[in-house]
Amino acid sequence: MTKLMTATPLEMALLKDLPRQDPVRQRLLDHGMPHRRVEEWKYSDLRRLSGPVESQGKISVKSARTLMSVPVAQKHSPSFMAALALSLGDEGLAFAVAAEAQETLSLELSATAGRAHKVLRFELGKGAKLTLHEIYRAHAGAFANILIQIVLGEGAELIRVIEQDDAPDALLVVTSDIELSPKARLHQTTLGAGAKLARLETHVTHQGEGAEADINGAYLIAAERHLDQTTFVRHCGPHGVTREIFKGAARAHGKGVFQGKILVEQGAQKTDAQMQHRAMLLDERAEIDVKPELEIYADDVACAHGNAMGHLDEDVLFYMRQRGLSEAEARTLLTESFLLDPLERIPDEALRTRLLGQLQTRLRGQS
């Protein structure tokens, strides 16, 4: 936003929410909300998509376990939305897993209509294990901005499963900041459906040596919805492994975005990083935008990315219908089998079964 541009109603409201001396306020004044001329938001114009959000909303976190309430640490973040959450997040919630301990945590994060920000922090001690299940439910009229900070200690292991299925007129931005100590293992899987705009932005940093990250996702975008999955993986230590497998499908008037960046710093020799995105347009009026990026400063690495886009094959559909399946059933079966892969890789059996079931329900519920 140039100074000449008028602030949108949401920007005006946020400017009022932010304390005068807060540097985030100045950033908002100077640049506005993220919009399509900002490279990282090229395909997801948050500024344009967000209408007026008059009231203050609330993000409640439901869990069988108790989360600790902690003050939000005021720290600078290069990501505007993360910085905004740090400035305006009402209270921070934290959960720590002690060294060598093993925990399971299931969270339901629901956002009511209105502006709301939240910061959650998870810490895994050395050799700790956590299975973390997050369900996002942003309701009609919500503008929910959530920052998740996760630190994995040496050799710690996190299985993270995210379900996103928000109201068609909700805005949701979840920025995850994940730091991997040496030999830490992350296995993240998302199942996304979109919202007016839902952005799941994941930053993973391989701080130490020999960490491993699986970052997978399946998405099925319904009509009039927009889902943006952006991943940014930074390899700082040597012998790190990253695997990304994303599979998606979009229906008529649905929009999907996949942006994946892998940055390999000079010291990150023997990095092994692969990123794959495959998507299917279920209708001519669906849109999927993809931007894979590799930026490599080390000379002894194995990095690759692949992307493929397709349609359901008419010959295959006829063959299936000849055997008795209706066109809708045939499409559902093909789409389902196309999307399964990332979900079948979930290491936790209960969560794997749950998400495969979710996919089935979503496919059959909205055709």
Partner 1 sequence: MLKITNLHAQIENEDGEAKAILKGIDLEVPAGEVHAIMGPNGAGKSTLSYVLTGREGYEVTKGQIVFNGEDVSEAEPEVRAAKGFFLSFQYPVEIPGVPVLTFLKESLNAQLRARGEDEISAPNFMKLARENAAKLGISNDMLKRPVNVGFSGGEKKRLEIFQALMLSPKFLILDETDSGLDIDAMKVVAEGVNALRAPDRGMLVITHYQRLLDHLTPDVVHILADGRIVKSGGPELARELEADGYDKYVGRAA
Chain residues binding partner 1 by CB under 8 A are: 313-316, 318-327, 329, 333-334, 337-338, 340
CB of 363 to partner 1, least distance (A): 13
CB of 308 to partner 1, least distance (A): 12
Looking at beta carbons only, is 70 or 316 nearer to partner 1?
Answer: 316
Q: Which SS3 state, helix, strand or coil, does residue 8 take?
A: coil
Inter-residue contact 18 to 25 (CB < 8 Å): yes
Q: Is the dihedral of CA 230, 107, 83, 58 positive or negative?
A: positive
Whose tokens are 């600078």? That residue is 76
CB of 318 to partner 1, least distance (A): 5
Tokens matching residue 334 = 């093909």
Q: Which SS3 state, helix, strand or coil, does residue 353 take?
A: helix
CB of 242 to partner 1, least distance (A): 25
Dist CA 54 CA 114 (whole Å)? 6
CB of 337 to partner 1, least distance (A): 3
Tokens matching residue 326 = 């209706």
Looking at beta carbons only, is 75 or 323 nearer to partner 1?
Answer: 323
Looking at beta carbons only, is 295 or 344 nearer to partner 1?
Answer: 344
Looking at beta carbons only, is 94 or 340 nearer to partner 1?
Answer: 340
Strands in 59-62's sheet, in edge-to-edge order, are: 59-62, 102-111, 129-138, 157-164, 185-192, 212-221, 241-250, 272-281, 302-311
Q: Which H helix or E strand runs over 351? A: helix 349-365
Looking at beta carbons only, is 303 or 317 nearer to partner 1?
Answer: 317
CB of 346 to partner 1, least distance (A): 18
Looking at beta carbons only, is 21 or 322 nearer to partner 1?
Answer: 322
